[in-house]
Structure 1
Amino acid sequence: MSRQISSLLAIAAVCVTIAPAPAFAQTSPKKAPVDCSAVKCIALTFDDGPGQYAGTLLDTLKKYDAKATFFLEGQYAKSRPQYVKRMVAEGHELGNHSYRHPDFTKSSEATIKAEIQQTQDAVKKAAGVEPKLLRPPYGMTDVRVSEIAEQFGMPQILWTAGSEDWASKNVEAIQKQTLAVAKPNAIILMHDWVKQTVDGMPSLIKTLQHKGYHLVTVSDVIKEEKLEPGDAFPLPQGWEQ
C-alpha cells in the first residue's frame, strides 16, 4: 500500500481544482531530456480526447517543438486511433482518463476497474503502448479510487491550475488564464476538444517559450517526486503525506 493511502483514515471524495514515474520514454531521441530542476518547465495536459481537433493541435506542437500529455478517454482512443498512434510517435505522453468519463467516487469498484482496463486496451490497440498515469474523471478521487489505481500500478495525476477553456470557449480568455497560472513545473488542465484552445495554441506556445518555458510532459515535471502507484499529485485538499 502506498505511503499516502496508508496515512488516510476516512476521507470524503474531493473535487480537485488544481493535477509518476515516466509513462513512456517519450522525449525526442534527437535531444537530451529536459532537466526541469535546471530550467523553467511547464506541462500542458489535454483531457477527454483525442478530440476532433487533435490533428491540428499535434501539428502546432510539432511546429514549435513542444511536448504535451494527453489523458485519453478510451471511447475516443478507439474511434480516433490515428491520433493516439501519432501522439506516441511524436514524443508525447499518454494517460488514462477512463473510458466514458464517469465520476469514479460514485461508481462501483467493478465499474472503475472496467473503465480503466478498457481504456488501457484501446490505447494499446491503437498505439502499442499502455498508459502509466491515471487522471480520474473530474479530478474526483478518494481512498477507494486510490487503492484501485494502486492495483493498476498507476499514480494519479491531477493539476496545479486549469485554463478554464471548457467554460469560456474564448481564445483570448483561455490564453489570459493559462498565462496567469503559468509557473515553473505547473501542470495545466486543458482540452483538445475545445476548438478555441487549439486555435489559440500557436500564440500561447510562442508566448510561453518567449518567457523561457520548456513545454514538456508531466513525467518531466514530476520526475523528482518519486510517486508510488495510487499516489495523487498534486495532493487534493485535505489529504496528508
Structure 2
Amino acid sequence: MIARVKGVAALAAALVLGACADQGARQLRTVADVTIVHTVNPSTVPGLTTVTRAEQNDRRHVYASYPEVPGARPLSRALASAVNGRVKPFERDAGRVRRLPGGDVPELNVQWSLTAAAQEVVGVRLVTSQFMGASGGETRETLWYDGVAGMVHPAADLLDGRRGLDGMVRQVRSRIGNEANPGQVTPDPRMFSSIAFNEAGDMVVEFSDYSVAPGSAGRVAVAVPGSAYEPLLSSFGMRARDAALDTQPGLSLGSPTATPAPRGDAARRPLPRTDCVRAKCVALTFDDGPGPHTGRLLDLLADGRARATFFVVGDNAAARTDLLRRAAAAGHEIGNHTQDHRDLSRLPAMQVTSDIQRTEEVVRDVTGRSPKLLRPPYGATNATVGAVAKSLGLAQVMWNVAVADWRQSDARVIADRVVSASRPGSIVVLHDNHKVTVDAVPRIIQRLQAKGYTLATASDLLAARHPQPGGAYRNG
C-alpha cells in the first residue's frame, strides 16, 4: 500500500494522527494509513539526550538533530556521520546559490524518531528535508543498533542477504502504488535505506523522494504483512522486529548517565514576575532546547535570580520532559518553537497548525499549561503563519538582539555582544544547545544586573503592549 491523501476531507482527517505519528511525511495521511511507522516515546529511555546543529544566515538555514542513547556510542557516531553526510553537501550547494526566487533561503532539516528501544536493540529513523528552490525533497534512512555485538546496521541488514533483498523486491513491486515505477525497485541495499514496523507488526518499507517515483508523489511507502516478510528476515532482523513490537520498552545497554539534581530548592521556588513598566527589563530567550546543557543553564539562572523564556522544539522537549518540567517549576516561561523546526512560511496552513499543535501538546502534558508565545523558526513568518497563530491564541515573539552564538567559541565574546546591544525592552535570542552559550550566561546576568536591568520573561516584558494572538513582537 502506498501512502496517499486525496481531497480536502481526507487531509482534514489526517491532520492530527497522520502528522503526529510520522514526523517525516510532507503529505498528511488518512487515519487508516498502514505505512505509519511505530515510534517509541524517547522519554522512556533513561539518559537519552539530543544533539542539535543549527545555523541561520542570509545564505542558508540548517537544523539537524539526532539522539544520543546511553550505552550505544557506536550508534551516536553513526548518526553523527549520517547527519554530517547530509549537512556538508547542502552547505556546499547552498554556497553556490546566489539567491532563490522571491528571496527564499535554502533550508535543510533533519528530524529523528525512535522506531525501537527495547531489549538490546535501538532503531533511529532520520528524515532529511531539503529546499533549494525548484529542487528539494526528502531522504529517509533508518539505522539499527545491535547492543549485543556493538554494531550499527543499515536497514537492509534486517533482510537475509541477497535472498532477502530479492524476496522483498518482489513483495514491494506487487504492492507499490501507481505513482511509482515497480521496475525501479531493485535489490540494491541502498534502495532499502529505511525499514521499520507499524503498530500492527507489518514491515514498513519507505523510499526517498525520486528514487522510485516523481517528487510529486510525495512519500512512497509500502506495508508488508508478517506472513510475507518473516521468511526474508536475517537473524538480527528478527530481533529488531521483536524489539520494535515490544509492548514494554526497556533497554539493556548499560547504566544511563546520571542527570545532576537541581541544586538546593531552586526548582521548587519560582521567582516572582516582574512589572516591566516600572523595572528596566531585558528578556533572555533560549531556542532549540531542551538539550544536554539546559540543566546547567537552569542552575546558573537560579544562581543569578534571573527568569528566562525557553522556546522549545517539540522533539527535544519530548525527549527531556524532566528539563521541561523543571524549567516551568522554576518560573521560567515555556514558548513554542514548533515540533520539527521547519520554516513555517513555506508550509500550508494545515501543516503549520500540526507542527505548532504537536509541541503545544507536549508542553501542556508535561507542565499542565499551554504556551502563549510562538517563535517561528528562523523568525520566518507570513500571513498564513500569523493566521494560524491567531487561531491557536499565540502571539509571535521575535527578537532584536542576536549574536550568532552558534558560530562563537568564546563565551566572553557572546557576553560582550549581548550586553553592549541590550537596551530597555530588548529581547535577546540565544541557544541553550551550545555549551559556549551557557558558559556566557553568568557574565551576561552579572553585567546586565550591574547596569540596573532585571532579567524577565518575554511575556512580562511585553505585558504593557497587551500582545494579541497572531501579532509579531520584537521588543517591549
- The TM-score range, normalised by the shorter chain, is 0.7 to 0.9
Q: Does 2:357 correspond to 1:117?
A: yes
Q: Which residue of 1 aligns with 2:311?
A: 71
CA deviation after TM superposition for structure 1 residue 13, in Å: 8.4
Asked whether the 8 Å contact 1:14–1:140 carries over to 2, the reply is no
Asked whether the 8 Å contact 1:104–1:141 carries over to 2, the reply is yes
CA deviation after TM superposition for structure 1 residue 40, in Å: 1.1
Q: Which residue of 1 aligns with 2:432?
A: 192
Q: Which residue of 1 aligns with 2:331?
A: 91
CA deviation after TM superposition for structure 1 residue 35, in Å: 2.1
Asked whether the 8 Å contact 2:271–2:331 carries over to 1, the reply is no
Q: Provide the C-alpha distance between the structure 2 equivalents of 1:29 and 1:199, rounded to a whole number of angstroms.
A: 23
Unaligned runs of 5+ in 1: 1-11, 16-27, 236-241
Name which of 153, 161, 176 aligns with 2:401: 161
Name which of 446, 450, 459 aligns with 1:219: 459
Asked whether the 8 Å contact 2:408–2:436 carries over to 1, the reply is no
Q: Provide the C-alpha distance between the structure 2 equivalents of 1:100 and 1:199, rounded to a whole number of angstroms.
A: 26
Structure 1 residues 130 and 108, CA gap change in structure 2 (3 angstroms) = same
Q: Provide the C-alpha distance between the structure 1 equivalents of 2:344 and 2:103, rounded to a whole number of angstroms.
A: 9
Q: Which residue of 1 aligns with 2:300?
A: 60
Whichever residue aligns with residue 140 of structure 1, its letter is: A
Q: Does 2:409 correspond to 1:173?
A: no
Q: Helix, strand or coil for the counterpart of 2:288?
A: strand
Note the alpha carbon deviations across 1:110-142, whole angstroms, 9 max, x for none. Answer: 221111011011112222221111000100001
Asked whether the 8 Å contact 2:282–2:424 carries over to 1, the reply is yes
- Where does 1:2-151 land on structure 2 (aligned, <5 Å)? 31=272, 33-151=273-391
Identity of aligned residues (%): 39
Unaligned runs of 5+ in 2: 1-101, 106-268
Q: Provide the C-alpha distance between the structure 2 equivalents of 1:55 and 1:93, rounded to a whole number of angstroms.
A: 15
Q: Provide the C-alpha distance between the structure 1 equivalents of 2:270 and 2:311, rounded to a whole number of angstroms.
A: 23
**4+ aligned runs moved over 3 Å, structure 1:** 12-15, 28-31
Tell me the number of residue pairs that the alignment of Structure 1 and Structure 2 aligns: 211
CA deviation after TM superposition for structure 1 residue 30, in Å: 6.9
Note the alpha carbon deviations across 1:169-201, whole angstroms, 9 max, x for none. Answer: 421221111012111110000000011010121
Q: Provide the C-alpha distance between the structure 2 equivalents of 1:159 and 1:29, rounded to a whole number of angstroms.
A: 25
Q: Provide the C-alpha distance between the structure 2 equivalents of 1:38 and 1:14, rounded to a whole number of angstroms.
A: 41
Q: Provide the C-alpha distance between the structure 2 equivalents of 1:30 and 1:203, rounded to a whole number of angstroms.
A: 20
CA deviation after TM superposition for structure 1 residue 92, in Å: 0.3
Q: Does 2:392 correspond to 1:152?
A: yes
TM-score (structure 1 length as normaliser): 0.83
Larger strand percent? 2
Q: Helix, strand or coil for the counterpart of 1:71?
A: strand
Q: Helix, strand or coil for the counterpart of 2:374?
A: coil
Q: Helix, strand or coil for the counterpart of 1:100?
A: coil
Q: Provide the C-alpha distance between the structure 2 equivalents of 1:180 and 1:191, rounded to a whole number of angstroms.
A: 18
CA deviation after TM superposition for structure 1 residue 234, in Å: 2.3
Q: Which residue of 2 aligns with 1:9?
A: none
Q: Which residue of 1 aligns with 2:37?
A: none
Greater Cα offset, 194-203 or 165-174 = 165-174
If asked which structure has higher relative contact order (CA below 8 Å, sep 6+), I would say: 1
RMSD, aligned α-carbons = 1.9
Asked whether the 8 Å contact 1:13–1:140 carries over to 2, the reply is no
TM-score (structure 2 length as normaliser): 0.43
